[in-house]
Amino acid sequence: MNTRKKIIAGNWKMNKTVSEAKAFVHALLKELGDYSAADIVICPPFTALQAVSELLDHSSHVRLGAQNLYPASHGPYTGEISPWMLREFYCHYVIVGHSERRIHLGESDEFINKKVKAALAASLHPILCIGEALEERQRGIWKEKIGSQLELDLMAIEEKQVVDCIIAYEPIWAIGTGKNATSEQAQEVHFFIREQLTKLFSDQIAQKIRIQYGGSVTPHNAQELLACPDIDGLLIGGASLDVLSFSSIILNKKL
Ligand SMILES: O=C(CO)COP(=O)(O)O
């Protein structure tokens, strides 16, 4: 039995207006009551961070996360948001390296490494997303892909800092497809990720880092995934947009 506290995060992606976000948070806090068995994180779009932050009142069990940052403190980067701007809203977490940004916006491992470092320097916990494409799984090269992402995205980060990272294994073929990785497939990859973290850092560090699974998580498959020894939490897209489905995953309640 490990001592890693589970962490369940909702990535809202480009969904919810400010008023929708407020209604969601009101209802979620009511559903969760004083629940504290796992760390809960919600990652709204930038436009709703302030409103959600005020409702969470930074004493709540539910923490705030952002979906992205730019790796500089300020400057001529039109349309970008710095780590310090996120800190102002009491963000604790920030998603980095999501496959949607790698694919649609061409983010490289080198750039993602800068973002991980910038987040850590601002005392934000990066949720670093990694994962293979369908074609890479079919060709049997998922270990090469994930191994290389881990090595490049965590390059030159010190042991004492890397423990503040959360790794999210999100197979690209499972995101938004309704076809989740089975608990056996996910556990196999999570075990591999922990082995790689041992090689890159140390066993002691690897045992501390939490590894989430993401990709078509629903109230029906969440508990089986969470029961795996190396799955320390979930990063949930679609099913985090609805209070009942998100809270039933957290509270392990039947819908
Ligand atoms: O990309 C994801 C979370 O970051 C997963 O999205 P879905 O849960 O909608 O498949």
DSSP string, 124-148: -EEEEEE---HHHHHTT-HHHHHHH
By residue range, what is the domain housing residue 163? 7-251
pLDDT tens profile 141-198: 999 999 999 999 999 999 999 999 999 999 999 999 999 999 999 999 999 999 999 9
Q: Does residue 132 belong to any structural domain of this protein? A: yes
Q: Is 237 assigned a ligand-binding role in the annotation?
A: yes
Q: Does residue 1 belong to any structural domain of this protein? A: no
pLDDT tens profile 197-212: 999 999 999 999 999 9
The two three-digit tokens of residue 59, written as one number: 């004493």
* Distant-in-sequence, close-in-space partners of 242: CB < 8 Å, separation ≥ 6: none
Q: Does residue 31 belong to any structural domain of this protein? A: yes
* pTM for the whole structure: 0.98
Q: Does residue 80 belong to any structural domain of this protein? A: yes
Ligand 1 first shell, C-beta below 6 A: 11, 98, 170, 175-176, 214-217, 235-239
Mean pLDDT of 5-30: 98
Mean pLDDT of 74-89: 97
Q: Does residue 121 belong to any structural domain of this protein? A: yes
DSSP string, 37-60: SSEEEEE--GGGHHHHHHHHTTTS
Helix (H) / strand (E) element for 210: namely: strand 210-214
> What is the pLDDT, as a whole number, of residue 59?
65
Q: Is 113 assigned a ligand-binding role in the annotation?
A: no
Output the CA 207–ligand 1 centroid distance in Å: 25
Mean pLDDT of 102-119: 98
Beta bridge partners of 43: 11
Q: How many structural domains does the chain have?
A: 1
Output the CA 239–ligand 1 centroid distance in Å: 8
Q: Which residue's structure tokens are 């056996």?
A: 184
Q: Does residue 2 belong to any structural domain of this protein? A: no
> What is the pLDDT, as a whole number, of residue 58?
72
Beta bridge partners of 128: 96, 167
Q: What are phi and psi of 175, to 5 degrees?
A: -80, 115
Percent of the chain with pLDDT over 70: 100
Residues marked active site are found at 98, 170
CATH number at residue 123: 3.20.20.70
Percent of the chain with pLDDT over 90: 96
DSSP state of 98: -
pLDDT tens profile 28-39: 999 999 999 999
